Chains A and B, each alone.
Chain A
Amino acid sequence: MINNRALVYINKEYLIYKPFVSRIEKLLNLNKKEGFKLKLKDLNNLKVNLNKKTLSVIVEGEEVYIKLFKFPNKSKYKIYEMINNELEYKFKNIDNIMFTYKILGSTKKEIDVLVFCMNSSRLDVLKKLLDKHVDIRAVYPLQVCALNSCKKTIEENKYIFTFLYENNLYFLACVNNNLMCNSVVENFKTCELKDEINRFTNKCISSGIDSQINKIYFLNVPYKEIEEYIPKKFKSEDLGEFDINEIGVF
């Protein structure tokens, strides 16, 4: 139901809750539903009744770990178990890790799977709210939402997308409409841009991207200040500013 949808935005310090307003209600200015901002320390003072709401959650400041796995092509239904076992081997304790996967290609013997993992410890806040029968629709990382909002203006096949929001700098490397590499830099200062870009390109190469990437897009970054810090082999483009109220969650 559209009436029961709400958006929750989670940060290190606070949580914003915003119910969806349909177009008709916007036209008629019937803004009866109100959102609120809640500091995570004050969670006990929750006033809104969250019964029977489906939440879409956006998490800020988390890095998405991306890895390409090759599995034997036995059956589609066992992929989930195989990924589970691989992650357990790597991370030892996977209680706090949530993952999804995308199948890139398959031959008779092998299947290529791209796995995305994210830490879910920030969402423990929602565990308390779940006692009241709240439905979680999906959890999205903020940088992916930002990328999707600019998808129409991007024409390249291989590029790096940088995004600055509240002193956190996000790097995303995309090849053929698949997210291949991601990193997050906290407390970013403009003078360190060159080092960070180089670090990120090295990370891309070590995580298996074949060819060099030549194009960078910048979103919500003071372009004129950082223009001098961009390494010369890149062609760069500025995508302007970012308004968090315009995230259309897909």
Chain B
Amino acid sequence: MINIAFIPKWYIEERQRKKHKKLKILICLMFIFNLCCLDYILWNKYKIRCLEEKIKTYDLDIEKGSKKEFFGNKDSLISLEKIIEKLPNYIKVKSINVEGKKVDIKLNFENEDKYLDLIKALEKSGIFNLINVSIIGNESSNRYIDIEMERKK
């Protein structure tokens, strides 16, 4: 079999033109998509920075010997910010442990009434789901109350 097949030049050029046109459109779309991704990343970074600054302005009454370290995850920072807002000034905080949406706070236990108010306020606010409340320790000054909760949204 002798296989000779021709294609006219103007047809080849038109095919290439259409191909280039599609390619250009694809490149533009990818560029715009990249810009959107970049925007999202920058926005997230800005938000984290704002949250960190806001948290630092809070005056936490934490016992001596414990450290203030917070960094990283946006979820954790939002949870941390929300719980700090809710804690009233007159309660001494022993430790706050935040992992994503789960928050675990330990407060020095002095008087029952104050804590009942706090727990009611936490439930009412609708931000947290309380999982576990427990009192640990004997009747002396080493007692503390342990509240575990999970942020709803």
The chain A residues found within 8 Å of chain B, CB to CB, are: 64, 94-95, 97-100, 116, 118, 120, 123, 126-127, 130, 136, 138-141, 144, 147-148, 151, 174, 177-179, 250
Contacts and interface: CB of A to CB of B under 8 A. Distances in A.
Nearest to B10: A127
A177 B3 CA distance: 10
Interface of B: 1-11, 14
B8 to A, nearest CB: 4
Contact of B7 (A139, A141, A148): A139
A98 B9 contact: yes
12 contacts: A98-B9, A120-B9, A123-B8, A127-B10, A136-B7, A136-B8, A138-B6, A141-B6, A148-B2, A179-B4, A250-B1, A250-B3
A1 to B, nearest CB: 18
B6 A130 contact: no
A92 to B, nearest CB: 15
Contacts of B1: 148, 151, 250
Contact of A138 (B5, B9, B10): B5
Nearest to A64: B4
Nearest to A56: B5
Contacts of B7: 98, 136, 138-139
Please give me the 4 A-B residue pairs with the lowest Cβ-Cβ distance, nearest first.
Answer: A138-B5, A139-B6, A98-B6, A120-B8
B93 to A, nearest CB: 72
